[in-house]
Amino acid sequence: MKALYWRPQRVSLRVLALLAFVSLATFLSVERFRARQRQPYYAEKNRAAQLTLRGMRTVKEHREKLGLGIDPETDPTESGLMGTLLSPITTNTGYPGAKQTSINPNFGAVVVHYLKRAGVREGEPVAVGLSASFPALNIAVYAAIETIGARPLVISSVGSSQWGANLPELTWLDMEKALFDAGVFGTQSLAVTYGGVDDRALGLSPRGKQMLTDAIQRSGRPLLEPADLKDGIERRMALYREHAGDAEIRAYVNVGGGTSSVGTRVGKQLFKPGLNKTPPRGPLPDSVMTRFSQDGVPVIHLTQISRIAEENGLPEKPRALAPIGEGTVFVRDTYNRWLAGGGLVLIVAMMFALLRFDLGHRLLAKNRGGDAPSHSEPMV
């Protein structure tokens, strides 16, 4: 004989409360017990950060040999990579907070991250446009490219904005030479420009421009002196292609806001900070960055440093030099998939057992004793 039982019309509040409790407990467990997951290319990122740190220390030692003091107020990490407010070779205004944020060896790992996402492989040429305004980032770029074994093709500007490499005795070219002579990097600029307005240091005093000329002569790097902005862009593109030879340039790295590199201020802002695999929409001012992007070459735009730092878990304006391996560029908190999947299976199983098969009603009805509904229920 087939068994019959009464089935309630409504789900018991106790059953709903039990399901809610299990669901909440599962949610809190998944949030609480996250897994620490190493990001791709962890070992290379670590090596690049270590090499960046070595480069920073080398520059500091060179600065100390020159007898140039370090102001702990403007350079709290005492890196020696912060310049001054004004000097004869200062080409533009600058924000000290951005320069302070850039002084972090883990930016070497960030550049590795971008290069890898751009598809750069060992032996492939990477075009680079460096501004003296961010010497710490320049060091990070060299460290990243040499770590992955790519071939850097570098054009540097020697004039700097405020708080960058704007000390006449210690320009970016002096730093680059010190790093090369110490064997930290095997990279030197193919050519250099004055920088500043139209890449020709327009507006600097004759004394300031002579100081830039003296720095270029100390470096032994050839001077690229364009007639105007368009000529500067053409010359840079020709130099990159000449040194790339038959190989395809795989990425373009821009540091700062050099006029020939990014074009006008509008061009600098249209490209997003970090990796740009396609050009921005709309009309773009002529620049090296624009030309590479329109040719399908990924562009790594190192500007808006605070935003890049935030996206990669690096501190803003650190008071002490960050330890190697810090930041989400190395390790991220991820959800434990096994725990999340197991919790979901448990919740679904309980819903079927308690609702579909009335297990909850049967169990809770026993606990209530003779407490039965006062009205007739449908019979199943």
**Where are the domains positioned within the chain?**
13-33+356-368, 42-332
**What's the pTM value of the predicted model, to 2 decimals?**
0.82
Does the pLDDT at position 247 exceed 50? yes
Does the pLDDT at position 365 exceed 60? no
Position 271 scores a pLDDT of 92
Band (pLDDT 50/70/90 cuts) for residue 370 is: very low
Band (pLDDT 50/70/90 cuts) for residue 372 is: very low
pLDDT, tens only, 19-71 = 677 777 767 765 665 666 899 999 999 999 999 999 999 999 999 999 999 99
3-state secondary structure the chain: CCCCCECCCCCCHHHHHHHHHHHHHHHHHHHHCCEEEECCCHHHHHHHHHHHHHHHHHHHHHHHHCCCCCCCCCCCCCCCCCCCCCCCCEEECCCHHHHHHHCCCCHHHHHHHHHHHCCCCCCCEEEEEECCCCHHHHHHHHHHHHHHCCEEEEEEECCEECCCCEECCEEHHHHHHHHHHCCCCCCCCCEEECECECCECECCCHHHHHHHHHHHHHHCCCECCCCCHHHHHHHHHHHHHHHHCCCCCCEEEEECCCHHHHCCHHHHHHCCCEEECCCCCCCCCCCHHHHHHHCCCCEEEECCHHHHHHHCCCCCCCCCCCCCCCCCCCEEEECCHHHHHHHHHHHHHHHHHHHHCCHHHHHHHHHHCCCCCCCCCCEC
Average pLDDT, integer, range 116-143: 97
pLDDT, tens only, 305-340 = 999 999 999 999 999 999 999 999 999 766 566 666
State the chain's mean pLDDT as an integer: 87
Share of the chain above pLDDT 70, in %: 82
Position 347 scores a pLDDT of 72
Question: Higher confidence at residue 268 or residue 207?
Answer: 207
Position 10 scores a pLDDT of 59
